[in-house]
Amino acid sequence: MENLLIAAIAAFAGMATGIVAPVLLAIIAARGARQLKEQDWARQDMVAAQVAKVARVAAETADRTDKKLDEAAAGQAVIHTLVNSTLTASKQAELRALKLLQAITLKFTPQDPELEGLKKQIEELETLLAAREIAAKKVDRQIAAQKAGGVNI
């Protein structure tokens, strides 16, 4: 009977070893996999934090760049207006001179063939100046809108 008991214990121990060993290996493997996942999650969190920082810096840089571009555009509008106003003044002086020349020519040589050319030049300049006046008013409205929007000019 003793032999039977020893044989039963030995059989039970063999079965237990056959069952316990794979379970212990599975537990150890699962614990190792869990540690690897936690390390990967920590790495991903670190990368996400760096990406968020880069995105924040990029957004701040974009905002500063947009403000500078708005200021530059406003400055260009002023320069454009000043250049155009100088050219407009020059064209107005040219128109006055042509009208004076036309008046003098009509008074002293009314049959002069140059009168038709003068008339055409005067009409072209008047058309040009009218278009420039419309464009200047448009730029003035844009500048006023930019000033109202908080853009320093």
In this predicted model, what pLDDT tens digit does every residue of 28-50 receive, in sequence order? 777 888 889 999 999 999 999 99
* Overall domain count for the chain: 1
Q: Which domain holds residue 39?
A: 2-148
Residue 80 falls within a domain, yes or no? yes
Residue 143 falls within a domain, yes or no? yes
Residue 37 falls within a domain, yes or no? yes
Task: Please indicate, yes or no, whether the overall pTM of this predicted structure exceeds 0.85.
Answer: no
Residue 77 falls within a domain, yes or no? yes
Residue 153 falls within a domain, yes or no? no
Tokens, residue 70: 């708005």
Q: Residue 82: which pLDDT band, with cuts at 50, 70 and 90?
A: confident
Residue 123 falls within a domain, yes or no? yes
